[in-house]
Amino acid sequence: MNRDDCLALDAADPLKAFRDEFVLPEGVVYLVGNSLGALPRRTSERVRRAVEQEWGRELVGGWNSAGWYAQPLTTGDRLAPLIGVGPGSVVVGNTTSIAVYQAVAAALRLNPSRNVVVADVTNFPTDNYVLEGLGCEIRDISEGLHDDVAVVLLSEVNYRTGERYDVAEMTARVQAAGALMVWDLCHSVGALEIDVSAADFALGCTYKYLNGGPGAPAFLYVNPRHHEAAENVLSGWYAHAEPFAFEPRFRPADGIRRFTVSTPHVLSFAALEASLDVWERVDLAQVRAKSVQLTSLFVDLVGDALELASPREPERRGSQVSFFHRDGYPVMRALIDRGVHGDFRAPDILRFGFAPLYIRHVDVYDAAQTLLEVLDKELWRDEKYAQRLAVT
Amino acid sequence: MNRDDCLALDAADPLKAFRDEFVLPEGVVYLVGNSLGALPRRTSERVRRAVEQEWGRELVGGWNSAGWYAQPLTTGDRLAPLIGVGPGSVVVGNTTSIAVYQAVAAALRLNPSRNVVVADVTNFPTDNYVLEGLGCEIRDISEGLHDDVAVVLLSEVNYRTGERYDVAEMTARVQAAGALMVWDLCHSVGALEIDVSAADFALGCTYKYLNGGPGAPAFLYVNPRHHEAAENVLSGWYAHAEPFAFEPRFRPADGIRRFTVSTPHVLSFAALEASLDVWERVDLAQVRAKSVQLTSLFVDLVGDALELASPREPERRGSQVSFFHRDGYPVMRALIDRGVHGDFRAPDILRFGFAPLYIRHVDVYDAAQTLLEVLDKELWRDEKYAQRLAVT
C-alpha cells in the first residue's frame, strides 16, 4: 500500500464529503478525535445563535421558545439511534462521571439483595473512582461473576488499548448471572455500530467521536423496562413529575425524564446539537467499515517498528490504535512537533484515534511515515522533548 | 416621586455605565434578571473565541493552552469575592442541584452522630428534592434546631417572596446547635453583599444576577476548615490527587479541588468568564444600595394596589419584589404584553426582579405605571391572557 493507493481509497470513500464539514488545522494530522473531536463548521453559527438570539433577544422566554427546557430529552432522542436504542430512553446532560453515579446507584437499588459492583481495573479511572463514592464493594472483572454481583460496569472500548468487548455476549452473560449491565460508551459512540438495547443502563460523553465540543454534556440510557422502578438519586427538580408545580415533596416523572437532574447547560447543548445535525446524515455501518480500514492500515504500516498494545484483529478493537513504547512521552512530543497529533497515556502508551468522518487514508499513511521516521532516526531523543507539559 | 425624579436618580447613579455593557431588548423592561440575567455585550465574542480559536484551532491542546483544565478552580477564585470568601475555597461546575447533593452529603459525613437535615419548605424545591435523594430525614426549619440536627440547608433569599435570612445570625445559631450550615445563594449572589465565610458550605447558580447565561455552571464553597476531612461523594477523576496518573484507586486532592467532579462544560464556562469580566469592576455595596432604592421605589409606587408578598423592610429582602394576586397568571401575561417582563409562580405570586447593573429608576417607574394600569383597567381579564403557556 503506497500513498497513491491511499489517495485512491479516499477518492472512493463514501464518507469523504463529511471532511469538509469540519475545521481542521493546516498541516496537522489530528489523531486525537478519540479525546476531543474536531469542530464542525456549523457549530460556531449555532452557538452564536444560542447566545445572541435565544439568550440575548428571547431572554427568559428562551426556555419555551428556543426549546431549552426540553433539551435533555430532545437531544437524547436525537442521540438514541447512535447507540441502537429507541426514543424516550436517553437523557443528555451533566457529565459521564455523574451519569455513572446515577446509573450504578439506580442499578444497585434494582438489585438490592446483592452488594458487589464488578468493574474493570482498566476502565477509564473516573468510572471506578465514582464507584468508590457510592460506597459499594468493588471487584475486578477478572474475579468472575459470582452470585453476590449486583452490577457490572464496563467500557465497550478500553481508553488505553482500544480493546473492545462484545456487548451482546457480555450483556447476556452478566444478566444470566443475575446482575445488571451498565455500559460506558465514551470510546465507542460515533466510532462503532452500537446496540446497547439489551443492556440495563449505558452512558457516555459526546465530545470525542461525536464532536460535541470540550466538556459537552453526557448521555444516559435507561432501558425502558426499568423506567417505572428505577430511582434517580440525583432527584433534582427536572426529574419531578410536575417541575413547575413547585410541590414540596419529590414525585418522579414517568419515563426517562426521571433521570434528568436540573437546568441544562444550554450553550454547551447548542454545540452538541450542531454536531448531531451532521450525525443524523451518517451511516454508522460506513463509519465502522472505514474505521476498520484506517486502523488496520496504520497497524500494517507501522508493522514491527512498535509493539502493538491494541488487539490485532480489527473486530476486537474500537477506532484507536495504541502502541507500547518505554519512552512514549518524548516520542509523542517529537511526532506532534512534526504535525502528527496523537497522545500519550502513562506509563508507556502511544494512542492514535481515527475519526472516520474527517481522517483520510492518506492521513494514516503520512502519520505512519512520520512515526517511522521519528523512530528510525531516534528523533525523540532530542532533549527538548523530555520535559513534561504542566497540567495543573 | 415622579418620572423626572427617577431620571435624575439615574443620572447620578454610580452604576449607570454598566447598563451599556448589556444587550437589552428594545421596548421592554426586563424584571426577570432574578431568573435569567441579561446577555453581557462581551459574551458573544468570548464564546466565539472559545469555539473558533480554543476548540477549533487548539483542539485537544486547549486543555492546557486555553486553561480549560483549571476552569473549575480559576473561575471559582474569580467568583469567591462575590460571596465574601477567599481564593482556594470555591469550585465552579455542574448545577446547583448537584452542588446541594455534594454539600449536604459531605456535611452529613462530617456530623455522623446526627441524621436530620433541616430545610425550609419554602426553599426552591430542587434543594428539598435533592435531600430526598440523599435518604436523610428531612425536617422543616419551623420545627426548630434539636440535638439530632446534622445539617441545615437554607436559601439566603427566598425564590418566591424575596425574603432574606440574616446569614451571620443564622449561621451562628445553627453552629451553636451543633449542626453544619449550608447556604443556597442562587437568589442573592450578584444582588447583595454576601459573606458566607463562617458557613460550612455554600452554593448557587450563576445565571441569575450574575448573567452567566442559560444553564451556566454552579458554584460550591467549602469552608477551608473542612478541606481535609470533607468527602466528595461524586468522586470523579478531577477530584483525584493526580488525575493524570490514572491510578486505579481514588485518592482525594488536597484543598478545594477535591470538590470538583469531572470535565467542565467549557463553552458554558466561557460565557460565565465574560460575565465575571464585568463583575470584577463592580462595587457590591453600590449594587446593594441601588437594589434597595429600586425595590423600595417599586413597593412605594405600587402602594396598596396589590398585597405585598415580600418583606416591607428593605433589609429583610433581596433584590426582588413579589405580590399576591389570585389571578396572577393573566395579570403577568397582560403586563408582558405591554413590555414589562416579570414572572408568575403558582399559585398566586407575581415576581419582579431588579438587577442593579442594568435596571434604572425610570424602568421601575414605567413598570409600576404599567402594572397599575393593568390592574386599574382590569386589562388582564381579556381572555387571551387566560391560557397557560405549555412548558413541557
Look at B265 and A239 and tell me if their CB atoms are within 8 Å: no
What residues in B contact A62, CB-CB < 8 Å?
Answer: 36, 214
Cis peptide before B347 (omega within 30 of 0): yes
Q: Does A372 touch chain B (CB under 8 A)?
A: no
- CATH of range B44-279; options 3.50.50.60, 3.40.640.10, 3.40.630.30, 3.40.50.2300: 3.40.640.10
Q: Of A17, A68, A7, which Cα lies nearest the Cα of A268?
A: A68
Output the pLDDT for position A392.
36
Output the pLDDT for position A139.
96
Helix H, strand E, coil C: the string for chain A is CCHHHHHHHHHCCCCHHHHHHEECCCCCEECCCCCCCCEECCHHHHHHHHHHHHHCCCHHHHHHHCCCCCHHHHHHHHHHHHHCCCCCCEEEECCHHHHHHHHHHHHHHHCCCCCEEEECCCCCHHHHHHHHHHCCEEEEHHHCCCCCEEEEEEECECCCCCEECCHHHHHHHHHHCCCEEEEECCCCCCCCCCCCCCCCEEEECCCCCCCCCCCCCEEEEECHHHCCCCCCCCCCHHHECCHHHCCCCCCECCHHHHHCCCCCCHHHHHHHHHHHHHHCCCCHHHHHHHHHHHHHHHHHHHHHHCEECCCCCHHHECCEEEEECCCHHHHHHHHHHCCEECEEECCCEEEEECCCCCCCHHHHHHHHHHHHHHHHCCHHHCHHHCCCCCCC
Distances (CA, A) of A205 to A202, A218, B389: 11, 4, 33
Output the pLDDT for position A123.
84
What is the rounded distance in angstroms from the CA atom of residue B120 to the CA atom of residue A65?
32
CATH 3.40.640.10 segments of chain A: 45-279
What is the rounded average pLDDT for all residues in chain A?
A: 96
Q: Is B361 annotated as a binding residue?
A: no
Catalytic option among B78, B257, B317, B351: B351
Better-predicted residue by pLDDT, B369 or A388: B369
| pLDDT band for position A337 (cuts 50, 70, 90) | very high
Q: Of A81, A66, A345, which Cα lies nearest the Cα of A189?
A: A81
Which ipTM value was assigned to this complex?
Answer: 0.96
Look at B25 and A121 and tell me if their CB atoms are within 8 Å: no
| B 190-229 near A (Cβ less than 8 A) | 205, 207, 213-217
- 3-class DSSP state of B339: coil
- 3-class DSSP state of B22: strand
Look at B215 and A269 and tell me if their CB atoms are within 8 Å: yes
Chain centroid to Cα B316, Å, comes to: 17
β-strand pairing of A39-40 with A22-23:
antiparallel
Distances (CA, A) of B255 to B87, B134, B221, B241, B372: 11, 24, 11, 10, 53
What is the rounded distance in angstroms from the CA atom of residue B136 to the CA atom of residue A94?
24
| pLDDT band for position A391 (cuts 50, 70, 90) | very low
Supply the residues of A annotated as catalytic: 124, 184, 207-208, 351
Q: Which fold has domain A45-279?
A: Aspartate Aminotransferase; domain 2 (3.40.640)
| A 327-366 near B (Cβ less than 8 A) | 341, 343, 345-346
Is the pLDDT at A377 greater than 80? The verdict is yes
- 3-class DSSP state of B208: coil
CATH 3.90.1150.10 segments of chain A: 3-30+283-385
Q: Does B239 touch chain A (CB under 8 A)?
A: yes
Q: Of B215, B110, B81, B247, which Cα lies nearest the Cα of A75?
A: B215
Find the closest chain A residue to B101 by CA distance. A234
The tens place of each residue's pLDDT in chain B, 392 residues long, gives: 999 999 999 999 999 999 999 999 999 999 999 999 999 999 999 999 999 999 999 999 999 999 999 999 999 999 999 999 999 999 999 999 999 999 999 999 999 999 999 999 888 888 999 999 998 999 999 999 999 999 999 999 999 999 999 999 999 999 999 999 999 999 999 999 999 999 999 999 999 999 999 999 999 999 999 999 999 999 999 999 999 888 889 999 999 999 999 999 999 999 999 999 999 999 999 999 999 999 999 999 999 999 999 999 999 999 999 999 999 999 999 999 999 999 999 889 999 999 999 999 999 999 999 999 999 999 999 999 987 755 43
What residues in B contact A205, CB-CB < 8 Å?
Answer: 263
Closest-CA distance of chain A to residue B157, Å: 17
Each residue's pLDDT tens digit, A116-136: 999 998 888 889 999 999 989
Name the strands in the sheet holding A307-308, side by side, starting at the edge strand that comes first in the sequence: A307-308, A320-324, A349-353, A343-345
Look at B214 and A94 and tell me if their CB atoms are within 8 Å: no
Question: For A118, how many CA atoms within 13 A lie in the half-sphere containing its CB?
Answer: 22
Distances (CA, A) of B89 to B4, B27, B71, B272: 46, 42, 14, 18
Is the pLDDT at A211 greater than 50? The verdict is yes
What is the sign, positive or negative, of the torsion defined by CA atoms of A337, A340, A341, A347?
negative
- 3-class DSSP state of B390: coil
Place of cell 404584553: B337
Chain centroid to Cα B109, Å, comes to: 26
**Please, which contacts does A344-351 make with residues 24 or more away whose CB atoms are closer than 8 Å?**
A345/A159, A345/A160, A345/B246, A346/B244, A346/B245, A346/B246, A348/A324, A349/A160, A349/A161, A349/A309, A349/A322, A349/A323, A349/A324, A350/A306, A350/A322, A350/A323, A350/A324, A350/A325, A351/A34, A351/A160, A351/A162, A351/A320, A351/A321, A351/A322
What is the rounded distance in angstroms from the CA atom of residue B287 to the CA atom of residue B211?
14
Output the pLDDT for position A346.
86
Each residue's pLDDT tens digit, A134-185: 989 999 999 999 999 999 999 999 999 999 999 999 999 999 999 999 999 9
Q: Which top CATH class is A3-30+283-385?
A: alpha beta
Output the pLDDT for position A389.
59
